[in-house]
A and B are shown apart, each in its own frame.
Chain A
Amino acid sequence: MADAPRFSVITPVYNTPADVFWAMVSSMRRQGFEDWELCLVDDCSPSPHVAALLDEAEGTDPRVRVARRAENGGIVAASNDAVAMARGEFLALLDHDDELHPDALLLVDRALREEPEADYAYTDEDKIDRAGRHSGPFFKPDWSPERMRTQMYSCHLSVFRRSLVEEVGGFDPEFEGSQDWDLVLRATERARAVVHVPRVLYHWRMLEGSTSGADEAAKPWAFTAGTRAVQAHLDRIGMPARCTHDPEDRGVYHLDPELTDEPLVSIVIPTAGQVREVRYEPVVLISHCLRSIVETSTYENYELVVVTDTPADPALLEELREIGGERLRLVEYDKPFSYSDKINTGAAAARGEHLLLLNDDIEVATPNWIERMVMYSGMEGIGAVGGRLLLQDGRLQHVGVRFQNGLPGHPYWGFRGDFRGYANAARIATNCLAVTAACLMTRRELFEQLNGLSDRFPVNYNDVDYCLRLWRAGKRSVYDPDLKMIHFESSSRSSAVEEWEKRLLMEIWLPFTDPDPYSNPQLRHELPRPSSKFSWMPRRPRLLRRRLKGQPA
């Protein structure tokens, strides 16, 4: 093949069993898209059968190219050799024991043509055993930078523009074991666009000793390398955070704040001075909330802006002054009830660089909650930060807002507090279209640019509308699972949302929210549909696929 192919598939080979090697090569030869080359690099396999396998593979198809390393250098060295021999416009990473779906390159090519600026593409994936049985599909969201920092979710199939891989210097041996994650992080820091193909196009073989297998301890160094790769990324982008891996699940990582300065944070709390039973004791919600902030928070530089209805109970105001001390600023609100306007009134009186909108029925459960929010809110691309809200009995209330058919909802509402969510979605930091204003941080500058919460939504959906306006302005919302709060919301869910509110929200935002880019077509309420089990099946019979040969290069 004289001309450069569209795709170079990069495959380091080491002691590959013959059956899985041929399954891998066959999956390439079955591709409906033909303009590819397979770059196989043998990393000095001691098993004598590998040399024969490579010779045979090279002989069966001119698109299969083979190189042999003189000495064993590990997966990074072999991958870099494969990158060096590649001629394609894009590099696709395929492990020596895995398989590609017959439509993989075809659909990735189509997606890349639809988004000409895309420098990185990834697809959904599943697992396959030695006998070829499929299981454990992973249906992924569209590009989610915050998720990428706490979970290597894009993984397989990953396709990079070759020029970008060369620009960032290829695979880094310092992160052997998590070299793919490191490369994705470095590449996406510079990528103009990232595309996601929501189809299971990669089959990750479960073999003993593979990280796809059940035994995650098989490659413990991979997880520590992952921590280092994320840390290096955080340092490069200037995010004041430290990465650690989860002792219970090493595929999950956490970010802890390491702030260098503490900008002023204004905590804006609207209140009507309500009394409610909390843990079998009647309490004034705002007093309870303020007390939990003052007693629990480790952040020093904050002010409390409490917006009260007039006339407020003088005894309550006195109690609030006693709890809040010099931090407290009381703002009176004498208009008819509008949550949005009440928040905007409080925000107008605030002096902080960051606004933290908080309901008065919240209790702080994480001492460094403000630090956590500032860690995210200070980043340029982020517009709003929310946390993990739990009901009084410990069940989940909020893990980020997801849209289904254009309407927002709380996935996993009422599930156990330790429920992991689909693919650990409740345990990792992730992007979402919106977070609840029961606890939401945003930069004041952004809040003012967008004229605060909209008075078109005086009671419900004002937070969703605000986050969507941020989204339209290019700012992401983030859910942080390590920021826990107790929300004394009624534990029997009653929908107080009016029909007109739903209609208005859909009228304005439907093109942005349906489909929700942070969900997946195979998920409903963030759990897999039973029919998704068959989603790996080829879409077209083999004969029809053959007709698709001869794609433009």
Chain B
Amino acid sequence: MDDGSDLRQELEERDAEIERLRALLVARDVEIGEERGRRLELESYVLRLMSFIRLARLAVTRPVYVLRKLRGRWSGERG
């Protein structure tokens, strides 16, 4: 009987430990998620900046096209 209850207690302790470690992992996932989210936000900012740089470069070779595009966008043209 004693052996049985010891075993049960050991199993319960192990289960509790597994639960604790799982909760830690989940919490760590959320922390990592926050960092990944921040990274994506930065990436999106960089991508927008790069597209602007591309547009600025294009302004040198095809100024009329760029002017028309920007004028259209700034005048509220959709699409």
| Chain A residues proximal to chain B, CB less than 8 Å | 107, 197-199, 279-281, 391-396, 405, 414-417, 419, 514-515, 521-522, 524-525, 527-532, 534-535, 537, 539
Bound-complex Cα distance A439 to B48 (A): 31
**B76 and A521: CB pair below 8 A?**
yes
**A199 and B76: CB pair below 8 A?**
yes
**B36 and A529: CB pair below 8 A?**
no
Most central of A394, A514, A525, A534 by chain B CB within 10 Å: A394
Given known A279-B22, A521-B73, A534-B74, contact A419–B29 (CB-CB < 8 A): no
Q: Mark B11-52, 1 if CB is under 8 A from A, else 0.
A: 000000000001001100110111011101100110011011
Partner of B52, one of A199, A416, A419, A530: A530
Q: How far is the CB of B45 from chain A (nearest CB, A)?
A: 8
Bound-complex Cα distance A271 to B33 (A): 28
Given known A198-B78, A405-B79, contact A539–B71 (CB-CB < 8 A): yes
When C-beta atoms are compared, the residue in chain B nearest to A524 turns out to be: B48
**A530 and B48: CB pair below 8 A?**
yes
Q: Which residues of A sit under 8 angstroms from B64, Cβ to Cβ? A: none
Bound-complex Cα distance A83 to B26 (A): 59
17 contacts between A and B (CB under 8 A): A199-B75, A279-B22, A393-B36, A395-B40, A415-B37, A415-B41, A515-B78, A521-B79, A522-B74, A525-B44, A529-B73, A531-B52, A531-B55, A535-B73, A537-B74, A539-B71, A539-B74
Bound-complex Cα distance A534 to B59 (A): 15
Given known A281-B22, A416-B41, contact A515–B76 (CB-CB < 8 A): no
Number of CB contacts from chain A to chain B under 8 A: 90
- For the complex, is B77 an interface residue (Cβ under 8 Å from A)? yes
Bound-complex Cα distance A537 to B48 (A): 21
**A531 and B70: CB pair below 8 A?**
yes
Q: Which residues of B sit under 8 angstroms from A417, Cβ to Cβ? A: 33-34, 37
When C-beta atoms are compared, the residue in chain B nearest to A391 turns out to be: B33
**B74 and A535: CB pair below 8 A?**
yes
Q: How far is the CB of B31 from chain A (nearest CB, A)?
A: 9
Bound-complex Cα distance A539 to B71 (A): 8
Q: How far is the CB of A478 from chain B (nearest CB, A)?
A: 22
Bound-complex Cα distance A197 to B79 (A): 15
When C-beta atoms are compared, the residue in chain B nearest to A201 turns out to be: B76
Partner of A530, one of B22, B30, B49: B49
Question: What are the 8 tightest A-B residue pairs by CB atom distance, in nearest-first order?
Answer: A393-B33, A515-B78, A416-B37, A530-B52, A198-B76, A199-B76, A535-B74, A414-B40
Q: Which residues of A sit under 8 angstroms from B36, Cβ to Cβ? A: 393, 395, 414
Q: How far is the CB of B37 from chain A (nearest CB, A)?
A: 4
Partner of B73, one of A280, A415, A531: A531
When C-beta atoms are compared, the residue in chain B nearest to A526 turns out to be: B44
Bound-complex Cα distance A415 to B45 (A): 12
Q: Which residues of A sit under 8 angstroms from B40, Cβ to Cβ? A: 395, 414-415
Q: Which residues of A sit under 8 angstroms from B37, Cβ to Cβ? A: 394-396, 414-417, 419
15 further contact pairs, Cβ within 8 A, besides A279-B26, A537-B74, A539-B75:
A198-B76, A281-B22, A391-B33, A414-B40, A416-B33, A419-B37, A514-B79, A521-B73, A521-B76, A524-B51, A527-B44, A530-B48, A530-B52, A532-B73, A539-B74
Bound-complex Cα distance A457 to B60 (A): 45
Q: Which residues of B sit under 8 angstroms from A415, Cβ to Cβ? A: 37, 40-41, 44
Q: How far is the CB of A110 from chain B (nearest CB, A)?
A: 11
Partner of A280, one of B26, B55, B76: B26
Q: Which residues of A sit under 8 angstroms from B33, Cβ to Cβ? A: 391, 393-395, 416-417
**A394 and B34: CB pair below 8 A?**
yes
When C-beta atoms are compared, the residue in chain A nearest to B48 turns out to be: A530
Q: Which residues of A sit under 8 angstroms from B73, Cβ to Cβ? A: 521-522, 529, 531-532, 535
Bound-complex Cα distance A552 to B74 (A): 25
Bound-complex Cα distance A393 to B22 (A): 14
**A527 and B34: CB pair below 8 A?**
no
Bound-complex Cα distance A530 to B69 (A): 14
Bound-complex Cα distance A281 to B26 (A): 11
Q: Which residues of A sit under 8 angstroms from B55, Cβ to Cβ? A: 531
Bound-complex Cα distance A391 to B33 (A): 9
Bound-complex Cα distance A281 to B38 (A): 27
Q: Which residues of A sit under 8 angstroms from B48, Cβ to Cβ? A: 524, 527-530
Q: How far is the CB of A112 from chain B (nearest CB, A)?
A: 15
When C-beta atoms are compared, the residue in chain A nearest to B40 turns out to be: A414
Bound-complex Cα distance A532 to B70 (A): 9
Bound-complex Cα distance A534 to B69 (A): 13
**A197 and B76: CB pair below 8 A?**
yes
Bound-complex Cα distance A106 to B14 (A): 75
**B79 and A416: CB pair below 8 A?**
no
When C-beta atoms are compared, the residue in chain B nearest to A142 turns out to be: B78
When C-beta atoms are compared, the residue in chain B nearest to A111 turns out to be: B76
When C-beta atoms are compared, the residue in chain A nearest to B38 turns out to be: A416
Q: Which residues of A sit under 8 angstroms from B22, Cβ to Cβ? A: 279-281
